[in-house]
A and B are shown apart, each in its own frame.
Chain A
Amino acid sequence: TQTVSQSDAHVTVFEGDSVELRCNYSYGGSIYLSWYIQHHGHGLQFLLKYYSGNPVVQGVNGFEAEFSKSDSSFHLRKASVHWSDSAVYFCAVSANTGNYKYVFGAGTRLKVIA
């Protein structure tokens, strides 16, 4: 069974700063990894996904994430945040077993101070 951990419940940065949101998973086989964003009062929106190939994947709005098999990680980064990036970010993982179930992390609340 796959598990996912987002170690930081809250992250606060200033507008224009870079940010990294951490995601670690545990599963021995091939795995799908995704990041989603949730603005207050809304459902989740897809940001990006990784399964194979280039370990750095680009997403919407300048977000990128890097997969590391050795660290079992899939951290999300943005070089320069905007106040509108304030939201909760969820990492999700799915083991490539054919049941198509994703396990979501507890989320990291990002606050960007203008």
Chain B
Amino acid sequence: GGIITQTPKFLIGQEGQKLTLKCQQNFNHDTMYWYRQDSGKGLRLIYYSITENDLQKGDLSEGYDASREKKSSFSLTVTSAQKNEMAVFLCASSTGGYAEQFFGPGTRLTVL
């Protein structure tokens, strides 16, 4: 089996600050995803990467940047943190296509 690690587990930032969330997977999966989960709501796709050198925008990409540094890692940057985007950010990976996704435990973002 494999595991997805997200760092940090809790991230506290100031409004307007640039913040980076990291995700590592050892499944050797091709595809990786970043989702935002607001309290009591479903997941919304921010960015995804189908293969190592690919980057695709999701439905919620405005205000975020992403980087697929290598096959095993996928970072998400909040370009200017806002108080209304306090949420849990979930990273996921899959073998590709429509295969099941494996999720990390999440990073909880708080903006002061």
Alpha-carbon distance between A35 and B26 when the two chains are bound, in angstroms: 23
Q: Report B33-58 CB contacts with A as 1/0, cut-off 8 Å.
A: 00100001111110010100000101
Chain A residues closer than 8 Å to B69, beta-carbon distance: none
Instruction: Please name 11 further chain A to chain B contacts, defined as beta carbons within 8 Å, in addition to the given A43-B106, A105-B42, sorted by A numbering.
Output: A42-B105, A42-B106, A44-B103, A45-B103, A90-B43, A100-B31, A100-B48, A102-B101, A103-B45, A104-B44, A107-B40
Contact of B105 among A43, A104, A106 (CB under 8 A): A43
Within the assembled complex, what's the spacing in Å between the Cα atoms of A34 and B45?
Answer: 16
Could you say which residues of chain A place their CB within 8 Å of the CB of B40? Answer: 9, 106-107
Q: A44-B90, A51-B98 are in contact. Are A104 and B103 (CB under 8 A)?
A: no
A1-52 at interface with B (beta carbon < 8 Å): 9, 32, 34, 36, 41-46, 49, 51
Q: Is the CB of A43 within 8 A of B42?
A: no
B97: Cβ under 8 A from any A Cβ:
yes
Interface string of B89-112 (1 = CB under 8 A from A): 010100011101111111000000
Query: Shortest distance in angstroms between B84's beta carbon and chain A's nearest beta carbon?
Result: 18
Chain B residues near A32: list those with CB within 8 A. 98
Asked if B4 CB lies within 8 Å of chain A CBs, one says yes
Q: How far apart are A42's CB and chain B's nearest CB, in angstroms?
A: 6
- B43 CB to closest chain A CB (Å) equals 4
Residues of chain B having any CB pair with chain A under 8 Å: 4, 31, 35, 40-45, 48, 50, 56, 58, 90, 92, 96-98, 100-106
Which of A36, A43, A102, A105 is in CB contact (< 8 Å) with B45?
A102
> How far, in Å, is A10 (CB) from chain B's closest CB?
10
B105 pairs with A49, CB closer than 8 A: no
Q: A41 and B105 in contact (CB under 8 A), knowing A46-B100, A51-B98, A100-B98?
A: yes
Q: Which chain B positions have C-beta within 8 A of A69?
A: none
In the assembled complex, which residues on chain B have CB atoms less than 8 Å from the CB atom of A45?
Answer: 103
Which A residues from 53 to 105 make CB contacts under 8 A with B? 90, 94, 96, 99-105
A64 to chain B, nearest CB (A): 16
